[in-house]
Amino acid sequence: MRFAREADDGGGAAGEVARGDDDAGRSVGNAALLDPQALGYGVVAFVSLSVDREQSTRERELERQIRSFPEIVECYTISGDFNYPLKAVARDLKELSSFLTDRLLHVSGVAGVRSTICIKEIKPLAPLPVSER
């Protein structure tokens, strides 16, 4: 596999994962890192989503719906005022606005959203710092 040859200089953990030789359970899947701009996604937004406390018993359903939106490329659960920080992509601001107001805000349990538009990406998703043991 080409990825394995490029990722590994001779039998290390990075090459094992790239080849799929992950018998230690370190790999959770494979994905290609693609340039959002090249695919027509001109807007990257960080969205803070807060949950209605009365709807907290329906957390699994809310998370299922979040996973179903292709616009959301990352999501985490955190403590604090906003429960779910999301990373979303859209072709333009109009599309982002439509997604937030017409779809995300209508998900049962969502109390509010706050979005921040990314101006410039400084360090994109990077590989984990894997060291040999």
At 16 the pLDDT is 52
Contact 84, 77 (CB under 8 A): yes
Query: What does the pLDDT read at residue 1?
Result: 38
Q: Is the dihedral of CA 113, 28, 129, 43 positive or negative?
A: negative
What are the φ and ψ backbone dihedral angles of 37, each rounded to 5 degrees? -60, -40
Distance of CA 99 to the CA centre of its chain: 16
**What does the pLDDT read at residue 66?**
95
The pLDDT score that the predictor gives to residue 6 is 45
pLDDT digits (tens, 9 = 90+) for 26-40: 778 887 888 889 999
Q: Which residues of 63-84 are buried (b: 16+ CB within 10 A; e: fewer)?
A: eebbeeeebbeebeeeeeebbb
Residue 60, Cβ density class (10 Å: 0-12 exposed, 13-18 middle, ≥19 buried)? exposed
Amino acid at 109: G
The dihedral over CA atoms of 29, 109, 82, 59, expressed in degrees to the nearest 10, equals -40
Q: Quickly tell me which residue has 């400084």 as its tokens.
A: 122
pLDDT at position 133: 63
Q: What angle do CA 102, 106, 107 make, to 5 degrees?
A: 130
Quote the pTM value. Answer: 0.74
Give me the pLDDT at residue 7, please. Answer: 47
For residue 55, the tally of other CB atoms under 10 A from its CB is 15
Which residues, given as ranges, of the chain have pLDDT below 70? Answer: 1-25, 55-56, 132-133
